[in-house]
Amino acid sequence: MNEEVFLNDEQKMAVLKLWNENEEPPSLIDLIKQAYPDKNYDGRTKYGKAVSKFLRERNLNARKSHEYQKKEVPELTEDQKSYVANHCALMKPLEIARAIFQNKELTNLNNEVNLIRDYIKTLDPRVTHIIAENEDSANDGTGYKPPKSLNAAIQRINKYVPTGYDKDKLTPAQRKCAEVLLGYLHTFRYSHQINTYTSEQDQNLFESSFIRYTHDKPDLTQEEVDQYIVLATEVVISSSIQANIVRLQELLDDIADDTEGRRISMSLVESISSARTEYNQCVNRQQKLLNDLKIKRSERISKQVKENASILNLVEAWKDEESRMKMIKLANMRKQIVEKEIENLSSMDELKSRIFGLSKEEALNG
């Protein structure tokens, strides 16, 4: 027969300490661990029953292990409210909640995210209508969805480009850039490529790379757009290779220093070396492609400038011709005035005409 177990004074104090430190009753298993910190007893053991008996003697009821414990969500502080107001136009409620509560495991079902959503609803509608556009165009699990409006395109630009655009002070050039980028993001090639990535992180990296490269280039040809898509793809590939190198290096650091470990280490070293070579090749491809695109666009713009210069020269020449015609016209008008005055002189008495000692032709033509 098992001998009954009783808690000593030190264990009783430990149990009561945990009880008093919590506003809600702690679970029985937590109280048992408090009494026996180095053991793994549960409520069915004689040690767990000893804790239960001690609680009953003091009319204390521990929370059952299967009983739901409501998780209280703290109210937003003034700094947190200010953060939400400043970032709700650029970030989704889930992203804001993860940043504020420093918890990357949060999902759209957590109370913290609902708290952010509820506060956003209290803000100025001129700010929150942008949130709807962002959420409508966000990835909802059915594939990538590009922005559908000019404002949504501007929000994507501001998300990835530090300088960004001020939608309230948008210049004609910036408006054109945003409108053209909207078209780039709706091409089939772009949508097809971004949907090949299964992780949201890879999709965001691809989108950010493409937008940063093309948001200020409204004059790209379709061929150049395809090349920038390839460039963004290379960025994702290099990131994946780099992450693989880090994982391999961690494995290498954890390998035991024995015969089998050394054999595995050599294999890992070769894999790391191969991955680094592949990474360098990928970076070189990016650099070469980016340089080719810059040169090609620079040559095209230079050609356009020369063509525009030819047109300007033609305009200047036309202006010079116009000036010459105007001077000729003024000279003819002056000649007509002089001729009229000579006609007046010719109608005078012959004696008066002789006084001048000039004939009409002489007076007119010199």
pLDDT tens sequence across 134-157? 444 444 455 788 888 888 889 899
User: Are residue 82 and residue 52 in the same domain, yes or no?
Assistant: no
On whether residue 253 sits in a domain, the answer given is no
pLDDT of residue 205: 93
On whether residue 21 sits in a domain, the answer given is yes
User: Are residue 105 and residue 132 in the same domain, yes or no?
Assistant: yes
pLDDT of residue 162: 86
End-to-end CA separation in angstroms for the chain: 150
Residue 15, both tokens:
């149990």
pLDDT of residue 346: 58
Please check the confidence at residue 266 and state whether its pLDDT lies above 70.
yes
User: Are residue 76 and residue 52 in the same domain, yes or no?
Assistant: no
User: Are residue 93 and residue 40 in the same domain, yes or no?
Assistant: no
Q: Among 138, 168, 185, identify where a domain stops.
A: 138
User: Are residue 51 and residue 78 in the same domain, yes or no?
Assistant: no
SS3 content of the chain, % helix, strand, coil (to 5): 70, 0, 30
On whether residue 37 sits in a domain, the answer given is yes
Q: What gap in Å lies between CA 116 and CA 285, rounded to an integer?
A: 43
User: Are residue 85 and residue 51 in the same domain, yes or no?
Assistant: no
On whether residue 307 sits in a domain, the answer given is no
User: Are residue 20 and residue 43 in the same domain, yes or no?
Assistant: yes
Q: How confident is the model at residue 130 (pLDDT cuts 50, 70, 90)?
A: very low
Task: Give the domain extent around 109.
Answer: 72-138
Number of domains observed in the structure of the chain: 2
User: Are residue 91 and residue 125 in the same domain, yes or no?
Assistant: yes
On whether residue 204 sits in a domain, the answer given is no
User: Are residue 79 and residue 48 in the same domain, yes or no?
Assistant: no
User: Are residue 78 and residue 40 in the same domain, yes or no?
Assistant: no
List residues bridging with 27 in a β-sheet: 63
Q: Among 138, 170, 185, identify where a domain stops.
A: 138
Helical pair 9-21 and 46-57, crossing angle rounded to 10 deg? 70
Q: What gap in Å lies between CA 31 and CA 33, rounded to an integer?
A: 5
pLDDT tens digit sequence for 1-27: 567 777 888 888 887 887 777 767 777
Average pLDDT over residues 68-86: 71
357 CA to centre of own chain: 92
Q: How confident is the model at residue 229 (pLDDT cuts 50, 70, 90)?
A: very high
Give 353 or 119, the one with higher predicted confidence. Answer: 119
Q: Among 114, 138, 162, identify where a domain stops.
A: 138
Q: How confident is the model at residue 333 (pLDDT cuts 50, 70, 90)?
A: confident
Nearest to 96 by CA among 79, 16, 348: 79
User: Are residue 80 and residue 125 in the same domain, yes or no?
Assistant: yes
On whether residue 106 sits in a domain, the answer given is yes
DSSP state at residue 77: P
On whether residue 134 sits in a domain, the answer given is yes
On whether residue 84 sits in a domain, the answer given is yes
pLDDT of residue 352: 52
